[in-house]
Amino acid sequence: MIDNLNKIILKEYQKDASITYRKLADKIGESPSTVFSRIKQMKKDDIITGIVPLISAEKVGKPTTAWIKISLKIETDCCDFAAEIAKNDDVMEVHEIAGEWDILLKVKVNNNLALHDLTKEISKMPGIKNMESLIAFCTIKEDPRITFEIKEDNSEY
């Protein structure tokens, strides 16, 4: 569990991870050394698992977003299948899910033909019983940042 100060730091840090510790500290009213040590500890604890830029998929030629639902044959190991499919560079997310489907993928590709080719490639993987694709017409909101409930009274972290 993380305390309120860590939540405040993470909320601001997610907005722009290129911010200096000094600027972040000034923004939240803490010392740079506190911010540095907190971020360092959160990295060590795998709360912060990496720092990557947010890239416009459309501007780099991957404007098509789709989800692929996969149902596996009963004898197929879901974890092994998920690990194997996660190796594909066009696959952004892999989720093992409950219900009628076993795996949910989020993919970003160049166009509908690329999606067609990707689904053909995936359908050749052993263990698939059924597969269905959903394509986004347009994206209203896509934000990987985590939200936090932050206490207004910051006197106690």
Q: Residue 34: which CATH number?
A: 1.10.10.10
Predicted confidence at residue 157, as pLDDT, reads: 54
Whether the CB-CB separation of 32 and 22 falls below 8 Å is answered with yes
Neighbouring C-beta atoms of residue 68, cutoff 10 Å: 23
123-157 confidence digits (pLDDT tens)? 999 999 999 999 999 999 999 999 989 988 655 55
Tally the domains of the chain: 2
Q: Please check whether residues 117 and 71 belong to one and the same domain.
A: yes
76 and 18 in a single domain? The answer is no
Residues 28 and 80 grouped into a single domain:
no
pTM for this prediction: 0.85
Over the stretch 60-72, which tens digit does the pLDDT of each residue have? 999 999 999 999 9
Question: Does 16 lie in the same domain as 72?
Answer: no
Half-sphere exposure at residue 104, Cβ-oriented, CA atoms within 13 angstroms: 9
Same domain, 120 and 73: yes
Token pair 């997610």: residue? 14
Q: Is residue 53 part of a domain?
A: no
Within this chain, do residues 82 and 129 fall inside the same structural domain, yes or no? Answer: yes
Length of the chain: 157
Per the structure, the complete domain to which residue 96 belongs is given by 64-135
Residues 79, 23 within the same domain? no
- Both 94 and 128 in one domain: the answer is yes
- Tell me the backbone φ, ψ of residue 120, rounded to 5 degrees: -65, -45
69 and 38 fall within a common domain: no
Give 114's pLDDT tier (boundaries 50, 70, 90).
very high
Identify whether residues 130 and 74 lie together within a single domain: yes
